[in-house]
Amino acid sequence: MKAWQHFKTITKHRLLVCAGCFRVGLYWQGLCHDLSKYSPVEFWNGAKYYQGIRSPNAAEREDKGYSEAWMHHKGRNRHHYEYWTDMNRQTRCYESIPMPRKYFVEMVMDRRAACMTYQGKDYRDDSPLNYFEKSRERELMHPETSRQLGYVLKMLAEKGEKETFRYLKDQVLEGKPFPWEKEGELWTP
């Protein structure tokens, strides 16, 4: 029974991300979003730890001290900021790098869809922003990515989907600067 419930949850999530991606012109990314969730390591661990109100990765992590499914997932899906971490040649430390815009936009759609999936009828346009503000993610992702994400999620909370999706399509995906950037110059902390 948990396997069927998990299958329905991940499929609902994928369809929501797909619809959002289609609205901004990311057709291939929408179609391919989270296909790794159907792989054995992700699917069966997800089914085992399925609760329906949050990611099963959190429950797996609480039980085992790590999530094998999450480690598999983040290494195969470029819409997660964790994917964009590499060794800095100068410091010899792993550091985050800025996300390419098409994956950044997919990340926004992913966060929106995750909140919609787990919150159901309680979802509001400020749900992804509230989740982001309560998490430690801002400390872990590249400062540029964090600032961009905060800006877009605040726009979603204040102005709604229609205006935010238009901004993502016409500004972000077209490579136009965010308000704090100058043309041709990226923001740095």
Report pLDDT digits (tens) over 145-166.
Answer: 999 999 999 999 999 999 999 9
Quick: pLDDT tens for 79-133. 999 999 999 999 999 999 999 999 999 999 999 999 999 999 999 999 999 999 9
Q: Which amino acid is at 184?
A: G
DSSP H or E run through 87: strand 85-87
- Which residues fall within 8 angstroms of residue 66, CB to CB, at 6 or more apart? 60
Asked if residue 37 lies in contact with residue 47, where contact means CB atoms within 8 angstroms, the answer is: no
Q: pLDDT grade, residue 188 (50/70/90)? A: very low
Q: What is the pLDDT of residue 142?
A: 97
Q: What is the pTM of this model?
A: 0.93
Contact criterion met (CB below 8 Å) for 18 and 31: yes
Average pLDDT over residues 14-42: 98
The whole-number pLDDT of residue 184 equals 54
Q: How far is CA 116 from CA 79, 98, 185, in A?
A: 18, 26, 35
Residue 47 to residues 1, 62, 153, Cα–Cα distance (Å): 9, 15, 30
Half-sphere CA count of 82, side-chain side, radius 13 A: 10
Token pair belonging to 185: 């110059």
